[in-house]
Amino acid sequence: MGSNGALHKHVVVFGLNHASSLTCIRDKMLFAEHEIPDALREVRELPGISEAVIVSTCNRVEIYAVSTFPDQSARVLADFLAMRRNVDHGEFGPHTYFHRCEQAIEHLFKVVASLDSLIVGEGQILSQMKNAFKTAQEAHATGTVFNKLFQFALTAGKRVRAETKIGEGAVSVSQAGVELAKKILGRLNDRCAMIIGAGEMSELTARHLKAASIGKLFFVNRTLENAASLAEEFGGLPLTLAERSTVMADCDIVISSTASPDFIIGVDEMRTVIMKRKNRPILLIDIAAPRDIHPDVAKIYNVFLYSIDDLAQVAQINVQLRGGEIKAALSIIESEMRKYYEWYNYLRVQPVIISLRKKFDTLRDRKLEQCASQISALPKETRDFVREFADALINECLEKPSKNLRESSNSADWLQLSDSMVKIFDLDSEGTEG
Amino acid sequence: MILGPTMTPFFLVILRTLVPLIYLTVSAGFIVNSVKKRPSVPARLFYPLIFAIGCHALLIALLLLKHGGFPLKTSFEGLAFSALVFMSASTILVFMQKEVNFAAFLFPVGSIIALISLAFLDKGVTLPPALCIQPYAAHTWIVFGAYTCFLLSAVSSVMYLVQHHEIKGRSLGALYDRLPSLEIMDRVVLRADAIGAALMIIGIVMGFLWLNSPGFKPSNVHAKIALSLLAAVTYVCEHILRMGQGWEGKRACIVSIVGFALIMATLLAGHHGF
């Protein structure tokens, strides 16, 4: 009977993420998509490593591996990363982490369920992990353990998204602004937005608006060049501050984030705009400090004014709501991890069950062979019946012992029971140890 | 067999019990769905809903066949017809707008009307005999159709005002996520009121034709007629203000609710006696 190799192997994870390192360090360690298959082959050639998956996103660079020597894996994987990325140990070493066995498995499940993400509940990580696993499978870098482990982890991730509210609500100011626009204006694909100012917030909001398929984007700046560069990036139209008022009545969303010390949109101007719009609703988002839009503008009919503080409050509520879902997510993770361990523990007794079956099959074949001359004299139907009867008898005899042994794999007495089986039925004991 | 003299009442009783029961169960399901903030339309709720609408339509058809023509005989029969149109329109609305958030608010309203109307189906005020003769029978159908549109608009208007209050006041509470966008609700109010007003005007015109019929006596003019005219004028004004003065959104919703209050007053005013 052959040894079950999976039992001598341990899951490990080595890497760095948004919590352990700064972006500048992570950027140096990132793997480009096309580099990963080669890197996986190299990892598998490292001592003791039989399976590997590399996860490389803007928030984390992690190598998951199945190793025979987990104690040495941290050093081996660190050396590999240093060599492959051409970065000194001292530069990234203090920002890395290493988990083995249960901790590594729990870490994987939490990552897939986006509990380890910078923004808890973000939806991208599940597909990123799925792609990482797929790439590893295509590079033949996964085997018995990872094929099953990632299957359970991805199921846990999907369940967490479907069964909890962890992914609900906007958790950033710009995202909250876009969500609000949808609640006022409905679908944004035939709407027009104006972004005044060319700061980081403007860029972020433009990105979210673009993702929400906004119909038309205007970028307004004192300097036309700055507006033009944003317009080019996001496919909008650049305007100067002076040109702004001519198109403002056509815009359903106006986002302002300039460094102007005075209000740039006043009550009178807004009254004129809303009159030209025939009272069609308009959303104004003021993310500037100090404010760009006069607060009294909010009193005008069908004008909805939100400041950065209002949106931050919305985002904060959603962050708290997501936090409240962590417990439910952890319980799903626990249930899927339990299923994985049940499968993994079964590997401990699987060789005994297989051996037992083989023993009885051999016995049946031998006995049928011994009676071959008598059996061959029988009609075909009777011969088939004898064969079926022997199969049924073996199945009946082995059903209970196999079931009990399988169930014992998750209890403390599994070794005692499987040893007894080996002795009673005179099986080869190799491979039944844990 | 179903239409046999003994089977029909039995079958009607079954349908009268079954339809509101399914409606209420499905509505409860949609409310739970909304509380749990599930974004997708749950198919397991739509199948029984469509089945119940089918049963409801069958019930109305059986009722009309029982009457030996197509007139509505009592006020509750009219209400049962309104409930059917309301539930059907709401289902189409939820599907077409892909806005499951409407379901948790519209279906319970329709279910309650169905429950009341089907429970008291044969107990309502009997409509004047003249309304059982064609073409005047169509007057009742058209007017109840208009009432349904106004109800749909009134419910959407209330939803709009709640959402508007949350967004304008910058206090985004529990209903913010559970209500549809202002734009969709405003569009529903606009269309429901437009269709309702058109039906109402047709109904009133038919009523005037009836007024000129030989059986009419001027002493029979009822408050219901005056209130109905006032309600129709209110809805027409809403449209004129929308188009001309840009009264879209909150103001239009308030006018729509006022219009519906007048419609309720016409119902409470009883029946005109000719």
Mention every residue, 6+ apart, whose C-beta is less than 8 A from residue A51: A9, A44, A65, A66, A136, A141, A142, A143, A145, A146
The closest CB to that of A185, out of B36, B181, B248, belongs to: B181
* Model pTM score: 0.69
**Shortest CA gap B52–chain A (Å):** 29
> What CATH number has the domain bearing residue A71?
3.30.460.30
CA angle A218, A221, A223 (to 5 degrees): 130
Do A135 and A37 contact (CB within 8 A), yes or no? Answer: yes
Do A194 and A275 lie in a common domain?
yes
Paired sense of beta strands A10-17 and A60-67, if any: antiparallel
Residue A45 lies in a domain: yes
| pLDDT value, residue A179 | 86
**Nearest chain B residue (CA) to A321:** B174
**Shortest CA gap B174–chain A (Å):** 11
Total domains, chain A:
3
- Per-residue DSSP letter, B170: T
**Shortest CA gap A19–chain B (Å):** 31
Residue A324 lies in a domain: no
Using an 8 Å CB-CB cutoff, list chain B residues near A304. Answer: 167-168
B246 and A304: CB-CB below 8 Å? no
Q: Which of A318, A335, A370 is the last residue of a domain?
A: A318
The closest CB to that of B170, out of A279, A301, A306, belongs to: A306
Q: Considering only CA atoms, which of B266, B270, B259, B199 is closest in space to residue B228?
A: B266
Share of chain A above pLDDT 90, in %: 39
Q: Tell me what the pLDDT averaged over chain A comes to.
A: 87
Using an 8 Å CB-CB cutoff, list chain A residues near B168. Answer: 298, 304
Cβ density class B207-224: b for 16+ within 10 Å, e for less: beebeeeeeeeeeeeeeb
Q: Which of A138, A167, A196 is the last residue of a domain?
A: A167
* Rounded-to-integer distance, Cα A231 and Cα A229, Å: 5
Q: Which of A107, A136, A167 is the last residue of a domain?
A: A167
User: Does pLDDT of A316 surpass 80?
Assistant: no
Do A296 and A407 lie in a common domain?
no
Q: Which residues of A touch B (CB under 8 A)?
A: 165, 168-169, 180, 182-186, 277-281, 298, 301-302, 304, 306, 310, 314, 317
Residue A40 lies in a domain: yes
CA angle A278, A280, A281 (to 5 degrees): 145
- Cβ contacts from A onto B, under 8 A: 49
Do A284 and A254 contact (CB within 8 A), yes or no? Answer: yes
Do A190 and A125 lie in a common domain?
no
**Shortest CA gap B185–chain A (Å):** 10
Q: Which of A24, A58, A101, A192 is catalytic?
A: A58
CA distances from A361 to A355, A381, A398 (A): 10, 21, 11
Q: Please identify which residue in the block is written with the tokens 């699987």.
A: A350
- Run of H or E residues at B258: helix B250-268
Q: Which residues of B touch A (CB under 8 A)?
A: 36-37, 163, 167-168, 170, 172, 176-177, 181-184, 245-251
Q: Is A58 a catalytic residue?
A: yes
**Shortest CA gap A242–chain B (Å):** 28
**Nearest chain A residue (CA) to B180:** A183
pLDDT band of residue B1 (cuts 50, 70, 90) is very low
* Rounded-to-integer distance, Cα B241 and Cα B248, Å: 8
Residue A327 lies in a domain: no
In chain B, what is the straight-line distance between the N-terminal and C-terminal CA atoms, in Å? Answer: 37
Interface test with A, best of B182, B189, B243, B251 (most A CBs within 10 A): B182
The closest CB to that of A186, out of B37, B183, B247, belongs to: B183
pLDDT tens digit string along B192-233?
999 999 999 998 888 777 766 665 565 556 778 888 889 999
Residue type, A223: T
Do B235 and B171 contact (CB within 8 A), yes or no? Answer: no
Residue A47 lies in a domain: yes
Q: What is the span of the domain harbouring residue A358?
A: 349-424
DSSP of A71-137: HHHHHHHHHHHHHHHT--HHHHGGG-EEEEHHHHHHHHHHHHTTSSSSSTT-SHHHHHHHHHHHHHH
Residue A84 lies in a domain: yes
Do A161 and A209 lie in a common domain?
no
Residue A368 lies in a domain: yes
| pLDDT value, residue A1 | 43
Paired sense of beta strands A282-286 and A253-256, if any: parallel
Do A304 and A405 lie in a common domain?
no
pLDDT tens digit string along B153-180?
999 999 999 999 999 988 888 888 889 9
pLDDT tens digit string along A372-398?
888 888 888 888 888 889 899 999 988
Do A148 and A256 lie in a common domain?
no
* Rounded-to-integer distance, Cα A432 and Cα A3, Å: 7
User: Does pLDDT of B86 surpass 50?
Assistant: yes
pLDDT tens digit string along A110-140?
999 989 987 788 778 898 999 999 999 999 9
ipTM: 0.85
Do A94 and A224 lie in a common domain?
no
In chain A, what is the straight-line distance between the N-terminal and C-terminal CA atoms, in Å? Answer: 15
* Rounded-to-integer distance, Cα A53 and Cα A424, Å: 42
Do A259 and A195 lie in a common domain?
yes
